Amino acid sequence: MIGSLMYLTASRPDIMYSVCLCARYQADPKESHEVAVKRIFRYLKGKPDLGLMYPKDEDFYLTAYTDSDFGGDNWDRKSTSGGCQYLGNKLVSWQCKKQTNVSISTAEAEYIPASQCCSQVLWIQNQMLDFGFNFLKTPIKIDNKAAIFITKNPVQHSKTKHIEIRYHFLRDNSEKGLIELKYINTEFQLADLFTKALDPKRFEFLVKSLGMMKYEN
């Protein structure tokens, strides 16, 4: 059941977080986990015509969103990273992943997914070069100002020495002008959908904001 749903997340970003959350318990599933998976199937059955739309327009620019849920896992207190990338108004890729280490600050919890999002952005930039598009200073929108300050001020040793060195390539690419972190209010943070469970109103708002809509026959 989880395998089928993971395959479906390639076209249904609205179930990405819930499927990835259920996938963490495949090694030792309980009845409650099966109930949760069946609930996802009922949601899909109720909205079979919901999907991503890619209208033809002239807007063609690269932008990304990144977010995390600080210590969201009640079992091991690890955070969940989420991110999504757009070409114009079209969602082209999205990610949801549990972090490997426990973050000891919100700045670290947000800085790590920003680095992961940066990797995806650089990959898209390289792919688009083959088509003659050069996206420099790609904006990565994040709702944590501390993470933005870290990329602009490498002297904050007391606040950053606990962050693994491999994540600091975000700052390196920011200095090169390949990406640029920009602050966005949490209310409009689209990557929020990939990091935590949400109330129905907030969920529906983000699903619509991602560009998902019902297909018309």
DSSP states along the chain: -HHHHHHHTTT-GGGHHHHHHHHTTSSS--HHHHHHHHHHHHHHHH-TTEEE-----S---EEEEEEEETT--TTT---EEEEEEEETTEEEEEEEEE-SS--SSHHHHHHHHHHHHHHHHHHHHHHHHTTT----SEEEEES-HHHHHHHH-TT-HHHHTTS-GGGGHHHHHHHHTSEEEEE--GGG-GGGGGTS---HHHHHHHHHHHTEEE---
**Residue 92: its pLDDT value, please?**
92
Do 41 and 69 fall into the same domain? Answer: no
Q: Mean pLDDT, to the nearest integer, of 144-165? A: 74
Do 3 and 77 fall into the same domain? Answer: no
Do 41 and 95 fall into the same domain? Answer: no
Residue 128 lies in a domain: yes
**Residue 157: its pLDDT value, please?**
58
Domain with 143, as residue range(s), is: 62-191
154 confidence band (pLDDT: 50, 70, 90): low
Could you give the number of structural domains in the chain? 2
Residue 53 lies in a domain: no
Contacts of 197 (CB under 8 A, 6+ apart): 17, 18
158 confidence band (pLDDT: 50, 70, 90): low
**Residue 162: its pLDDT value, please?**
67
**Residue 155: its pLDDT value, please?**
61
Q: Does residue 88 register a pLDDT over 90?
A: no
Residue 203 lies in a domain: no
Q: Mean pLDDT, to the nearest integer, of 39-53? A: 91
Do 40 and 70 fall into the same domain? Answer: no
Residue 78 lies in a domain: yes
